[in-house]
Structure 1
Amino acid sequence: MPSGDRGRELWPPLPYVDWKDTLYAVHRWTQVVGKMRLALTPLVNHWWNSTLVVTPRGLTTLMIPSGDDAFQIDFDFVDHELVVVTSRGGRSAIPLLPMSVAQFYRQVLELLARLGVPDPGILPVPVEVATAIPFMDDLEVRPYDREKVRRFQDVLIRTQFVFDRFRADFLGKASPPQFFWGGFDLASARFSGRRGPAYAGGSAPNVHIHVMHEAYSHELIAAGFWLGSDDTPRPEFYSYAMPAPPGLAEATIGPESAGWVAARGEFILPYDAMRTAADPAATLLTFLQSTYDVAADLGAWDRPLLEERPRCDCVRLPSSSHADG
């Protein structure tokens, strides 16, 4: 794994205060697009049907049904455009530029109409934000800093690499890394296989409590990457268990720069502490593994069942390129 100066090049700085206005815009834009996927796809447990997915160039909805046809919306943070393609061969794009949320929303609907895609009919109000200005009423022109957005994309890709490596060691039900546009975080979860107790906590701002009931219907340990907010103006990695087993707050985890935040009920690893470590990716993997270990042990998860691969009588294992034949 890259270390030292090379590691810091791969994990660029993302100071919240330097790009919070661009972040505001891109966050709302992803909500516009994510809500379209949510509106047109069947519910998958824990809202997995609503999330966006990291690509080499940005974020994608993957395929969305529209009657007997389909379309897909991609944020391209390399060429800085929003691209829509359809199953009928259509393709159209709009440039990502400084603009208001209202202008972006209007342009997306116009783009879909040009391609013959009906209005998805979303609820045009943002969620998981303290001040929920309806999209069409959000008229302030927001900046779009291409360099900061490209840095964000680089970090998403490298975070996904580490999350994928971490997920590979778990044999139970586990989500792929997914980009949740509500909280604007890349996250992944592992499940014990048991139902969780009825959720009795609070809800994120402007979010119906049923969203939380569906999200936490089963026991899980989740981890993710978040860009920060005005209240917490720094990017962070987080890890939590739902429900949190007794003793979790007092558990020892790694690395030393990580710790428990009681007010949020989760472990936190500051992004800057990770990116400036001798081996950033290994530091992040240590955080993911150690927080999972303590939560799974304290929660009495059946770890042999969930982690130990079945043995077979093969003389030798096939290479990955010949695994199917």
Structure 2
Amino acid sequence: MKAAIVQQTGQPPVYGDFADPIAAHGEHLITVTAAAISQITKGRASGTHYSSSGAFPFVPGVDGVGRCENGSRVYFVLPRAPHGGMAEQTVVPRERCLALPDGLDDVTAAAIANPGLSSWAALRERAKLQAGETVLINGATGTAGRLAIQIAKYLGAAKVIATGRNAETLQSLTALGADVIIPLAGDGDALEERFKPQFAEGVDIVLDYLWGDSAERLLIAAAKAGAEARPIRFVQVGSVSGGDITLPSAVLRASAIELIGSGIGSIPLERLIAVTGELLQATIPAGLKIAVDPVPLQDIEQAWRRDDSSKRIVVTMGI
């Protein structure tokens, strides 16, 4: 069968022939129609993601959309290695397949599942968002962050504060539901001064896609708000700005901040699959919007190299 194939660490996948998958007991043989390029997919291919196996060659793609043997249309996640989503066929344990709602097209479903899950799971499973709370999204200008704004509002947030570096994109976030926007410009002290008024008014949840200096300054600003601010659940989702921060111990002693992680490992796999189903069922009723760039499987190498956060690149097979 035709597939995208990762031959070695640090190289983009190439289009070629890969062994046909054979479904074992308890698995579905899926004819794939769409699979998105995601950060976790690229991280596994480069060997930098903590879930990387280090075994080559393999087909990339941690999730996708396709048809089961009986023709039913499903979203699937975590195919059995070395098979992935970016191939004409793959094999997936049956419990990792979810029926798709009518009206949700294959490309949109493949595009929205992974970035949408990052905020849906963080807000529902980890932060336990309650209606009427205030959510600050650190790093809201990327695909996942833009969805996070929409999802937070849909799940009941009364106020959403969005931060980001891209000034033009940041201004556009009000149309998606952001009530306050904060540019991540200037030095750390300037950032801290911008954050302080929001924490003084009250922030319940911080959803952090960046880590790095902005997360450090957010935590310090929250602590300096002191007793005037309510307790904060700080949920760490991504590390676009770096994997480490330097955090004074007094920040945690002087505040009611709860540090929480959200991702594979912090939420049981069966719950991640279940909340993905919730997200997919809500995509149309919530009117969730995502920019998509569909590309044919044979163009995988070029698409892989130009992938960025402005649009979700979805590899398509036969549609």
Q: Which TM-score band (shorter chain)? A: under 0.3
TM-score by length of 2: 0.28
TM-score by length of 1: 0.28
